[in-house]
Amino acid sequence: MSENDTTPTESMITFAELPLSPAVIKAVQDVGYETPSPIQAQSIPQILEGRDLLGLAQTGTGKTAAFALPMLSKLDLSSSEPQVLVLTPTRELAIQVAEAFQRYARHMPGFHVLPVYGGQDMRGQLRGLKRGAHVIVGTPGRVMDHLRRESLKLDSLKAVVLDEADEMLRMGFVDDIEWIMEQTPEERQVALFSATMPRQIRKIADTHLKNPATVEIKAKTATVDTITQKVCMVSGFHKLDALTRILEVEPFDAMIIFVRTKTATVELAEKLEARGFAAAALNGDMSQGLREKVVDRLKKGSLDILIATDVAARGLDVERMSHVVNYDIPYDTEAYVHRIGRTGRAGRQGVAILFATHRERRMLRSIEHATRQRIETMRLPSMRDVRDMRIRAFKEEVVKTLELGEELDAFRGVIAELETEHALSHEDMAAALCFMAQKDRPFPDGKEPERPQRERRERNDRERNDRDRGERGERGARPRRDRKEDNEGMVRYRVDVGRDQGITPGDLVGAIANESNISGKNIGHIRLFDTCSSIYLPEGVDASTLDSLKNVKVRNKALDLKVWVDDGRRENFRPRRGRGRDGEGFKRDRDNRGGDKRQGSRRPRRDA
């Protein structure tokens, strides 16, 4: 906080003690929140008083509730005009924020929130605006489109929220934000939230915020000491086998397994059920009633494993959750921190296991940096480990069954008859019964399946290269920055827009980040050609996302995204003309994605 501000701290204050409206407090209690996070405790009173606010906090600290709860408490539901405008850098965040507003307004009859973003049918947004909405949540480009169309009117606007302002700056939205702010009434409240405070964000704050209260939440260790983190290096084709072995050997109470897509939740749940595990999917396509029923089964112990997406698992808190498995590595470190936070709560011990390939080592290093913890490498359980665990569990079940005593007398009689009628030994009869009991889960012989020759060769080459790099490092040789290494874990794609359309790398980053669940910082090397461009995206992007990106337009031309095929015809992909200057005479430089910056030219605005 600034020196002159005195507000409640996060000590022991509850939401009921904050001056929120009764309907909002009831919704918060329904969600299960009791005490506000530090940024909520410090921000809510300031926003309720009508002060402008400058909030500095990392993602995952509860910023959305920090502005949504007080804004909802101040709404006039008798008017259907937009009263709150929230600007977000991506459509994914716009949807999340809109859902949060809807959740906190569940006891406010007649409330409407409308998310507006690029890639969505404009007609549906126009109908929603015509019908009326109290809160508009959108990306800058699409909000500008509606303001120019005059389909969005801000005459009754009372507050503007700039969420993740530094991310909007990084994606090139600063000019758009300035233009939008100029269209808002002079007397309106402004709340700006950002993880960092670069010069341009400070300039926006100084220009548009009047005597703001400053709330700054210092970053702490991202993960708690009660969570043991492990990484299992395994390729995609072997992940199911690796997961099955871990489930067989690792003692766990309840587990949540994170995957990237809704389809994958169902597919993996079916495969685990077929292997005898009590598993179920949890995704956004399920009705709220069905999702609550699945979570209730997990809490009561009739279900042991949930396979979920990030969105579906938000807010999930199950006391018996002992393990979190990242079956698909997340796109960013913040998602990883949110995922593993499902376990190790309230002082309980938890285990987080991450599956990663060798090409995803860069992301692994980023996670370690973000969590400030070294993630230990986990040895994949061998088939002998699986065999020993199954035998141990079978023996324990036999001993436990023998404790039933008199209830076994009838079966002892059957054994005696078998011995007399067929002259069977006790050992033979016991072996036959063991086979019958375990025929669906036989004891493996303990031998590892033979790996294909090509895979063994690739693994040996990789290990040899790792050793060579290690030896060079010990001699103090300076590591060479290799562009291939920068794109590890990435797939190269071609898009049908290039310099002839006047695009910049920032245009491509913004368009893809806004129209998909791929964060801008996870987009790799970009190279511009005259009639097309190449761009690296994370490995494992689902087919539905790739299909949706094909129709995204930049400079009124569809990207037509497809996997890059190098056919050797370099005439189709002409490099930049001239030495040191492009065809327009601009001196060029490389940005951090390998694209081009043009000095002396103003970067054109892209659509959100």
27 vs 598, which has greater pLDDT? 27
Mean pLDDT of all residues belonging to the chain:
79
The pLDDT-based confidence of 140 (bands split at 50, 70, 90) is: very high
Mean pLDDT of 242-255: 89
Q: Within a domain: residue 206? A: yes
d(CA 343, CA 322): 6
- Give the end-to-end CA distance of the chain in Å, rounded to a whole number: 33
Q: Within a domain: residue 6? A: no
Same domain, 359 and 409: no
Same domain, 21 and 163: yes
Q: How many domains does the chain have?
A: 4
- Report CA-CA distances (Å) from 189 to 70, 134, 531: 12, 15, 45
Can you give the three-state secondary structure of 510-548, one letter per residue? Answer: HHHHHCCCCCHHHCCCEEECCCCEEEEEECCCCHHHHHH
* Burial letters 284-299, b for 16+ CB under 10 A, else e: eebeeeebeebbeebe
Q: Which domain holds residue 114?
A: 15-216
Same domain, 429 and 511: no
Q: Within a domain: residue 369? A: yes
Q: pLDDT at residue 219 above 90?
A: no
- Report CA-CA distances (Å) from 333 to 90, 233, 336, 354: 17, 18, 5, 12
What CATH code is carried by the domain that includes residue 70?
A: 3.40.50.300
Mean pLDDT of 175-195: 93
Mean pLDDT of 151-169: 92
Strands 321-326 and 159-162: unpaired
The pLDDT-based confidence of 451 (bands split at 50, 70, 90) is: low
Q: Report the pLDDT value the prediction gives residue 224, as an integer from 0 to 100.
A: 63
Q: Within a domain: residue 189? A: yes
C-alpha atoms less than 13 angstroms from C-alpha of 332 in its C-beta half-sphere: 15
Same domain, 320 and 396: no
Q: How many percent of the chain have pLDDT more than 70?
A: 79
Q: Report the pLDDT value the prediction gives residue 589, as an integer from 0 to 100.
A: 40
Same domain, 82 and 27: yes
Same domain, 212 and 254: no
Same domain, 88 and 207: yes
Q: Report the pLDDT value the prediction gives residue 60, as an integer from 0 to 100.
A: 57
Q: Report the pLDDT value the prediction gives residue 128, as an integer from 0 to 100.
A: 92
Q: Within a domain: residue 463? A: no
Q: Report the pLDDT value the prediction gives residue 567, as an integer from 0 to 100.
A: 54
Question: Three-class SS of residue 366?
Answer: helix
Number of helices and strands in the chain (H, E): 21, 22
* Six-digit token string for 231: 């990484």
The pLDDT-based confidence of 392 (bands split at 50, 70, 90) is: confident
- Report CA-CA distances (Å) from 573 to 487, 504, 529: 20, 16, 6
pTM for the complete prediction?
0.47
Q: Report the pLDDT value the prediction gives residue 606, as an integer from 0 to 100.
A: 44
Mean pLDDT of 500-528: 81
Q: Report the pLDDT value the prediction gives residue 238, as an integer from 0 to 100.
A: 83
Q: Report the pLDDT value the prediction gives residue 466, as an integer from 0 to 100.
A: 45
Same domain, 370 and 405: no
Same domain, 324 and 252: yes
Burial of 315 (0-12, 13-18, 19+ CB in 10 A): exposed
* Least confident among 36-45, 134-143, 335-344, 571-580: 571-580
- Report CA-CA distances (Å) from 350 to 24, 325, 340, 365: 33, 11, 9, 21
Q: Report the pLDDT value the prediction gives residue 73, as an integer from 0 to 100.
A: 95
Last residue of a domain, one of 360, 382, 404: 382
pLDDT 10s digits, 336-370: 887 888 887 766 789 999 999 877 887 888 888 87
293 vs 519, which has greater pLDDT? 293
Q: Report the pLDDT value the prediction gives residue 604, as an integer from 0 to 100.
A: 44
Q: pLDDT at residue 320 above 80?
A: yes
Q: Report the pLDDT value the prediction gives residue 33, as an integer from 0 to 100.
A: 73
* Six-digit token string for 594: 């390998």
What CATH code is carried by the domain that includes residue 561?
A: 3.30.70.330
Mean pLDDT of 57-77: 86
152 vs 452, which has greater pLDDT? 152
Same domain, 39 and 127: yes
Same domain, 264 and 349: yes
Q: Report the pLDDT value the prediction gives residue 66, as an integer from 0 to 100.
A: 93
Q: Within a domain: residue 423? A: yes
Q: Report the pLDDT value the prediction gives residue 232, as an integer from 0 to 100.
A: 92
Last residue of a domain, one of 396, 414, 438: 438
328 vs 398, which has greater pLDDT? 328
Q: pLDDT at residue 34 above 80?
A: no
Q: Within a domain: residue 243? A: yes
Torsion-angle region of 113 (φ positive above 0: left; ψ -120 to 50: alpha; else: beta) = beta
The pLDDT-based confidence of 144 (bands split at 50, 70, 90) is: very high
Same domain, 262 and 368: yes
Q: Report the pLDDT value the prediction gives residue 435, as an integer from 0 to 100.
A: 82
The pLDDT-based confidence of 460 (bands split at 50, 70, 90) is: low
Last residue of a domain, one of 174, 190, 216: 216
Q: How many percent of the chain have pLDDT more than 90?
A: 30
265 vs 424, which has greater pLDDT? 265
Q: Report the pLDDT value the prediction gives residue 549, as an integer from 0 to 100.
A: 86
Q: pLDDT at residue 539 above 70?
A: yes
pLDDT 10s digits, 251-306: 889 999 999 888 889 999 999 998 888 999 998 788 878 888 998 899 888 999 99
Of 112, 115, 62, 46, the closest CA to residue 87 belongs to 115
Q: Within a domain: residue 156? A: yes
Mean pLDDT of 433-448: 70
